[in-house]
Homo-oligomer: A and B are copies of this chain.
């Protein structure tokens, strides 16, 4: 047997409420929305009727009238959701829960699908669009024919006229390096990931700059390959054979760092006493489960999402676009792989 009234045919409309309360639509609207042109007695009558019918105003109709839908599109190509979820949460924070809702569209790296989603979002009259990429390389702009503000998060647009918000990878490389230096390390090398990633290059730049400031040079070349744990292991083995005296390894990702830690353990090196290791991304589940726990750089993605949302707001309020790429500060999270537990 079907449940009682599982999906009642129609939701109550303002008209229903007005009829039940014995007033006109206009009065009902004013009573419910707390406008002051209505007598207290009438108001309470209307409100009671609304509750009785469990009336909720139809946002569709409201949006149509207001010209604002109170929705935002999040267009992502990030297959795993590692970046997009924190960014979404940040955006939700900025918009205020319940005020604005977010359409999440996954283009899965496909430009056609992205166009498809974009069109669908515009048809739904979203008030703004946040485009999220999975790497910090510039990505093709959606173009300037879009009738709502667009902000690019994590992956910047290749058009400087667009608004982009990205983590500051140069600074990240510098901070990681300065931290190792502050713990007394002097023979530092760098195992990074895919060299075609702007993030890899930027971090290396920051790293070299920090070393130069301290009058030091990188031990060996930056080792590029991919972002995997496998590579972290291979790289560490190679590194230790070529430069047995290194005392600090800066890794391009936490996954790489995990591989490096594995090999250091196999080779009998103590971390952090003999060699300090630092990762990147602060992927908690990896960083807190390693032996020892992994110091890492956190990109503050939630703050990044909040900022992206605020840029949308500003554009909606008619502020000057402030176009270009805005970099967001990153954060050092210190754990046992660089500082011994007391």
Q: Are B289 and A229 in contact (CB under 8 A)?
A: yes
Measured CB to CB, the nearest residue on chain B to A262 is B291
State whether A101 and B124 are in contact (beta carbons under 8 Å apart), knowing that A11-B147, A321-B2 are contacts in the complex: yes
Q: Does A80 make an interface contact (CB < 8 A)?
A: yes
Q: Does A125 make an interface contact (CB < 8 A)?
A: yes
For window 94-109 of A, CB contacts with B under 8 Å fall at 97-98, 101-106, 108
Q: Are B6 and A56 in contact (CB under 8 A)?
A: no
Interface centre among A60, A116, A119, A320 (most CB of B within 10 A): A60
Q: Does A58 make an interface contact (CB < 8 A)?
A: yes
Q: Which residues of A are at the interface with B, using a C-beta cutoff of 8 A?
A: 2-8, 10-11, 54, 56-61, 63-64, 67, 69, 71, 74, 80-82, 84-85, 88-89, 92, 97-98, 101-106, 108, 113, 116-117, 119-125, 144-145, 147-149, 161, 228-230, 233, 255, 258-259, 262, 285, 289-291, 315, 320-321, 323
Query: In the complex, which of the residues B81, B101, B117, B259 contacts A289, with contact meaning CB atoms closer than 8 Å?
Result: B259
When distances are taken between beta carbons in the complex, the residues of chain B under 8 Å from A290 are 229
Interface centre among A7, A8, A63, A321 (most CB of B within 10 A): A7
CB distance from A243 to the nearest CB of B (A): 24
Task: Tell me, in angstroms, the Cα distance from A17 to B97 when the chains sit together.
Answer: 37
Q: Are B289 and A6 in contact (CB under 8 A)?
A: no
